[in-house]
Amino acid sequence: MILVKQAGVYVNILNCKLKKYLAEVFKKNNVNLTAEQYLVMDTLWNEGTLTQQEIAFIIQKDKNSVTQFIDNLEKKGLVARSVSKEDRRVNNIVVTKEGMALKDSTKQLAIETMNKALEGIPEKDVLVFVDVLKKVCANI
Protein backbone atom coordinates (compact mmCIF):
# COMPACT_ATOMS: atom_id res chain seq x y z
CA MET A 1 0.00 0.00 0.00
CA ILE A 2 1.00 3.58 -0.58
CA LEU A 3 0.91 4.35 3.11
CA VAL A 4 3.88 2.15 3.68
CA LYS A 5 6.12 4.40 1.70
CA GLN A 6 4.72 7.50 3.33
CA ALA A 7 5.49 6.17 6.78
CA GLY A 8 9.23 6.45 6.23
CA VAL A 9 8.96 9.89 4.70
CA TYR A 10 6.90 11.22 7.56
CA VAL A 11 9.10 9.69 10.22
CA ASN A 12 11.96 11.60 8.68
CA ILE A 13 10.06 14.85 8.45
CA LEU A 14 8.61 14.51 11.92
CA ASN A 15 11.96 13.78 13.50
CA CYS A 16 13.38 16.91 11.94
CA LYS A 17 10.49 19.05 13.01
CA LEU A 18 10.44 17.69 16.53
CA LYS A 19 14.13 18.33 16.97
CA LYS A 20 13.76 21.82 15.65
CA TYR A 21 10.73 22.53 17.80
CA LEU A 22 12.39 21.17 20.92
CA ALA A 23 15.47 23.25 20.16
CA GLU A 24 13.29 26.36 19.93
CA VAL A 25 11.53 25.64 23.21
CA PHE A 26 14.83 24.91 24.93
CA LYS A 27 16.40 28.06 23.55
CA LYS A 28 13.47 30.18 24.61
CA ASN A 29 13.91 28.81 28.12
CA ASN A 30 17.69 29.07 28.18
CA VAL A 31 18.22 25.34 28.18
CA ASN A 32 21.34 24.66 26.17
CA LEU A 33 20.80 21.06 25.06
CA THR A 34 20.38 19.36 21.71
CA ALA A 35 17.74 16.66 21.38
CA GLU A 36 20.35 13.95 21.70
CA GLN A 37 21.97 15.58 24.68
CA TYR A 38 18.57 15.78 26.31
CA LEU A 39 18.08 12.11 25.56
CA VAL A 40 21.27 11.31 27.46
CA MET A 41 20.43 13.59 30.36
CA ASP A 42 16.93 12.19 30.62
CA THR A 43 18.29 8.67 30.67
CA LEU A 44 20.74 9.56 33.42
CA TRP A 45 18.09 11.42 35.39
CA ASN A 46 15.87 8.36 35.25
CA GLU A 47 18.42 5.61 35.71
CA GLY A 48 21.15 7.23 37.75
CA THR A 49 24.84 6.66 37.04
CA LEU A 50 25.49 4.58 33.94
CA THR A 51 28.45 3.55 31.85
CA GLN A 52 28.75 4.91 28.32
CA GLN A 53 27.96 1.49 27.00
CA GLU A 54 24.77 1.29 28.99
CA ILE A 55 23.74 4.71 27.73
CA ALA A 56 24.46 3.65 24.16
CA PHE A 57 22.31 0.57 24.62
CA ILE A 58 19.39 2.45 26.14
CA ILE A 59 19.27 5.30 23.66
CA GLN A 60 20.31 2.98 20.82
CA LYS A 61 23.13 5.11 19.49
CA ASP A 62 26.63 3.91 18.79
CA LYS A 63 29.54 4.27 21.14
CA ASN A 64 31.25 7.00 19.15
CA SER A 65 28.16 9.15 19.26
CA VAL A 66 27.85 8.62 22.99
CA THR A 67 31.47 9.62 23.48
CA GLN A 68 30.69 12.86 21.71
CA PHE A 69 27.48 13.47 23.64
CA ILE A 70 29.28 12.96 26.94
CA ASP A 71 32.14 15.20 25.77
CA ASN A 72 29.73 18.02 25.10
CA LEU A 73 27.71 17.48 28.26
CA GLU A 74 30.92 17.39 30.26
CA LYS A 75 32.05 20.68 28.71
CA LYS A 76 28.76 22.16 29.85
CA GLY A 77 29.38 20.83 33.33
CA LEU A 78 26.21 18.73 33.41
CA VAL A 79 27.85 15.32 33.74
CA ALA A 80 31.23 14.00 34.81
CA ARG A 81 33.22 10.95 33.83
CA SER A 82 34.35 8.87 36.76
CA VAL A 83 36.58 5.88 36.17
CA SER A 84 35.06 2.74 37.63
CA LYS A 85 36.90 1.22 40.56
CA GLU A 86 35.98 -2.31 39.57
CA ASP A 87 37.04 -1.98 35.94
CA ARG A 88 39.25 0.89 34.99
CA ARG A 89 38.30 0.67 31.32
CA VAL A 90 34.82 1.82 32.25
CA ASN A 91 33.58 5.37 32.69
CA ASN A 92 30.73 5.86 35.07
CA ILE A 93 28.80 8.87 33.90
CA VAL A 94 27.53 10.90 36.82
CA VAL A 95 25.13 13.83 36.68
CA THR A 96 26.65 16.86 38.40
CA LYS A 97 24.81 19.24 40.73
CA GLU A 98 24.38 21.62 37.80
CA GLY A 99 22.96 18.73 35.80
CA MET A 100 20.54 17.79 38.55
CA ALA A 101 19.44 21.40 38.90
CA LEU A 102 18.09 21.29 35.34
CA LYS A 103 16.18 18.07 35.80
CA ASP A 104 12.64 19.06 36.70
CA SER A 105 12.23 22.16 34.57
CA THR A 106 13.81 20.56 31.53
CA LYS A 107 11.78 17.37 31.75
CA GLN A 108 8.71 19.53 32.06
CA LEU A 109 9.65 21.45 28.91
CA ALA A 110 10.10 18.22 26.98
CA ILE A 111 6.75 16.91 28.13
CA GLU A 112 5.01 20.16 27.23
CA THR A 113 6.66 20.10 23.84
CA MET A 114 5.38 16.61 23.11
CA ASN A 115 1.97 17.46 24.49
CA LYS A 116 1.71 20.33 22.09
CA ALA A 117 2.89 18.17 19.22
CA LEU A 118 0.28 15.55 20.05
CA GLU A 119 -2.45 18.09 20.69
CA GLY A 120 -5.84 17.09 19.34
CA ILE A 121 -4.89 13.48 18.76
CA PRO A 122 -7.09 10.95 20.56
CA GLU A 123 -5.31 9.14 23.34
CA LYS A 124 -6.08 5.75 21.88
CA ASP A 125 -4.36 6.76 18.66
CA VAL A 126 -1.34 7.97 20.57
CA LEU A 127 -1.18 4.59 22.24
CA VAL A 128 -1.23 2.81 18.90
CA PHE A 129 1.31 5.28 17.54
CA VAL A 130 3.84 4.64 20.28
CA ASP A 131 3.20 0.93 20.10
CA VAL A 132 3.92 0.87 16.38
CA LEU A 133 7.02 3.02 16.87
CA LYS A 134 8.38 0.50 19.35
CA LYS A 135 7.49 -2.50 17.24
CA VAL A 136 9.11 -1.06 14.14
CA CYS A 137 12.22 -0.19 16.13
CA ALA A 138 12.32 -3.80 17.27
CA ASN A 139 11.76 -5.06 13.71
CA ILE A 140 14.89 -3.42 12.37
Residues that bind DNA (CB under 7 A): 12, 16, 20, 34-37, 51-53, 56, 61-65, 67-72, 81, 87-91
Does residue 118 belong to the site contacting its own copies (CB under 8 A)?
yes
Determine the Cα–Cα distance for residues 22 and 47; give it in Å rounded to an integer.
Answer: 22
* 14 near its own copies, judged by CB under 8 A: yes
The listed partner (DNA, its own copies, none) that binds 120, CB under 5 to 8 Å by sort, is its own copies
Give the nearer residue to its own copies in terms of CB position, either 84 or 108.
108
What does the alpha-carbon distance between residue 88 and residue 95 come to, in Å, rounded to a whole number? Answer: 19
Please state, in angstroms and rounded to a whole number, the distance separating the CA atoms of residues 5 and 70.
35
Measuring CA to CA, which residue among 92, 125, 91, 102 is closest to residue 45? 102
Cβ nearer to DNA, comparing 68 with 108: 68
What is the C-alpha to C-alpha distance for residues 81 and 71, in angstroms, rounded to an integer?
Answer: 9
**Member of 54, 61, 96, 103 binding its own copies (CB under 8 A):** 61
